[in-house]
Amino acid sequence: MVNISDYKSYIHANYNFLELLREGNSLVYDRLSDLLKVLGFVELMVDQNKPIEEELELIFDVGFSFLHEQFEEIKLYYNMYFKRNFLKFKENELLINYTLYINDLEEVLKEKKIYDNEVSNSFGEIKDEIDSILRGNQDITIDTFNKYNEIMEQLVPVGTLTTLEIYAMIVEELGL
């Protein structure tokens, strides 16, 4: 049985910031939109007292845990790095999204047991560089992203799906 009350409480507690991101056409919100669609779908099913298959329960539990983890990190950037300045936050969304993407990839690679020292060191260097850029409020060039992408292509096997890519597939499958 899906315990929807924790999810509803979390969404309620973070509603204003979620709306700020949504209304501000934030890339960070866009990143989470498929995940939110799936969680909202399950919430609606529970509210309508519809039966929920075990697989959908698992999808909800994993998704809510992932949302919580990612959203807390997003709030950290917003509150600590940018002192709740939405314009500054939006200016740096590509970097924030890239860091979140790396975190997601790390978990996937650990799960597949292909997360080794080389991956750890390379991902750590990228995250440290991004952190330095964000803290120093420096500009980033497309060449920097190209460099990051080249590193990813070397370290991440083709066909590796992140959590959010899986949720995009679920959205498609459910027709949401």
Query: Helix 4-13 vs helix 27-47: angle between axes, to the nearest 10 degrees?
Result: 140
Q: pTM of this prediction?
A: 0.90
Cβ atoms of residues 168 and 34 within 8 Å: yes
**Cα distances (angstroms) measured from residue 138 to each of 62, 73, 88, 100, 151:** 35, 20, 12, 19, 22
pLDDT at 137: 60
Per-residue pLDDT reduced to its tens digit, 44-97: 999 999 999 999 999 999 999 999 999 999 999 999 999 999 999 999 999 999
pLDDT at 149 over 80: yes
Q: How large is the average pLDDT for residues 88-110?
A: 94
pLDDT at 2: 77
Q: How large is the average pLDDT for residues 132-144?
A: 82
CA distance 167 to 36: 9
Displacement of CA 14 from its chain's centroid (Å): 15
Give residue 3's pLDDT band: very low, low, confident or very high (50, 70, 90).
confident
Number of domains in the chain: 1
Domain that holds residue 129: 4-174
Q: How large is the average pLDDT for residues 9-13?
A: 97
